[in-house]
Structure 1
């Protein structure tokens, strides 16, 4: 059971670190609130970056490369159209998820689909050394296909992993859980997490008490790094709904070498990646002539 009236954990997870995500400019005129991938929280193995983005045309994320990790884009409002140099094109809208494995190389664009403001979350998940150079791949999950449950004033959308007895169909190369929770006023949650996984919360709306009941409520746009343990407890003691994502993953425990959108294990691999991209080879062959429309 994930939702219980008494804390079921022998080793409950507590908030070990709290970081307020701050606005910065990315892409072409886009604004993101970066929670992971900044000086206060450079990374949380296996997670490399977490952005809450807000994009209004003509701003967006025009053509750019990736290698060595996965990007997970979860739309909260509006839509984003993706194009890449292998000819793939598609749009995800409110509640949809795109799970992209960049692998050995991809060049793509992510631009707002229509007028208005488009909001979402993008998470970067590292790949192990043995998988960094696999072929690129996509998993897209429409909102209506995401397993959803509600119990005792708690709703969950299971984007990856398991909650309330529901399993996501998404295959996670780096074992990952990604759960979107909404707690009504007065509701409480007790969610199990594999003991050895690193995990964090990103508060989207409202305020909640995380860890144990005596804690001070924490408000939106904070990243909460959780200690190790069996699971986390959350209470909504406010008069408004609380919405947050709970994300956890199995640490890779490997060295990380990063240069912007390239993430490898050594500096020499980064230098080779820069050469591959510059000379359009070893996975970037289509990058020389391709431009998004």
Structure 2
């Protein structure tokens, strides 16, 4: 096995330029040179495994509490003693071509912001004719929030389903999964648009059994704030007395979708010590107030400092359209991150072992040997 791992390592080095042409998958790794599937995650494949000792922007917590979500009796509230979080940095997500017809805005997983523990990548994608055929994952969770279009998914464990606008899918890769995510072609020529967030798994859960949890748009509770000028979809976590339906991810994460009408102001409480950011999907917002206020435009990702327990968002009364802001917070993990494409482990040895496991169909990838999805060969 040691010899085989050395061979795999050599292949990785020799084929780095070919890996750049791949999406996120190592599908048919031995036939790498024959593949013509474009890489949807080229930034993650274009260099050797990268190690991040700890979260680059803020210190990591020592451990995940057993009951990591506040209960309804422990609602986080905004009081006169609350302190606002300051803005650490703002990253504008530049649109780039990826794959066969996809356009992606990536604000986590780039040189400007490689990791923001526990978050590994955030993609705002739009595609009219690009699908994501069979590909593997290990060691992380992915959260897909579909904004427009329809997406089918299927994996080697027999799971399958369809996401519609407003639906979310929480996929835990754990010890290994191979799946396909294929948008349906829109009869009106419209695009498939959504967000995909990659979340690191705690070391003790890296090799857990894979699982899926879907959340339908109709299941998501809402909070109304500022006399109806703000609507919050509480996907995960809490907002203004409203709790999400259920815990959907192993790593503690809050997901809140804000719609702010002109002249709106909202102050959102967040768990202390968690990392948090706000991605502007549409419109313009002001983050904070007074001398520390920052303007954020469409496609800006606002990263907050850890100190403080609330953030404030507002819009100008003269705004000509609503602003939509996706606020995400999560508990940082005190562990190294070694990532190569869709494989996210805690050491380079584990990454090399994952290559070997995937190639030999062992230790979680047994079902990949003879499995091919029914949707992966879909032609647009």
Residue matched to 1:19: 91
**Quick one: distance in 1 between partners of 2:371 and 2:103?**
26
Q: Deviations over 1:116-148 (max 9, x none)?
A: 301000000100110010001111010000111
- Cα–Cα, structure 1 residues 119 and 286, in superposed 2: closer, same or farther, change >3 Å? same
Match of 1:270, SS state, is helix
* Higher radius of gyration, 1 or 2: 2
Match of 1:217, SS state, is strand
Match of 2:157, SS state, is coil
Residue matched to 1:203: 280
C-alpha displacement of 1:28: 4.2
C-alpha displacement of 1:72: 0.3
Residue matched to 2:111: 39
TM-score, length basis structure 1: 0.94
Residue matched to 1:236: 315
- Cα–Cα, structure 1 residues 205 and 9, in superposed 2: closer, same or farther, change >3 Å? farther
- Write out aligned runs for 1:1-293 (5 A): 8=80, 10-57=82-129, 59-115=130-186, 116-152=190-226, 153-168=229-244, 169-214=246-291, 215-228=293-306, 229-237=308-316, 238-293=319-374
Output the aligned Cα RMSD: 1.7
Q: List runs of 5+ in structure 2 lacking aligned partners.
A: 1-74, 375-380
Q: Does structure 2 conserve the Cα–Cα contact (< 8 Å) formed by 1:202 and 1:246?
A: yes
Q: List runs of 5+ in structure 1 lacking aligned partners.
A: none
Q: Deviations over 1:69-108 (max 9, x none)?
A: 1000001111211111111111111000101111111111
The structure carrying a bigger strand percent of its residues is: 1
The structure carrying a bigger helix percent of its residues is: 2
Q: Does structure 2 conserve the Cα–Cα contact (< 8 Å) formed by 1:32 and 1:52?
A: yes
C-alpha displacement of 1:195: 1.5
Q: Which runs of 4+ in 1 moved over 6 A?
A: 1-4
**Quick one: distance in 2 between partners of 1:280 and 1:25?**
32
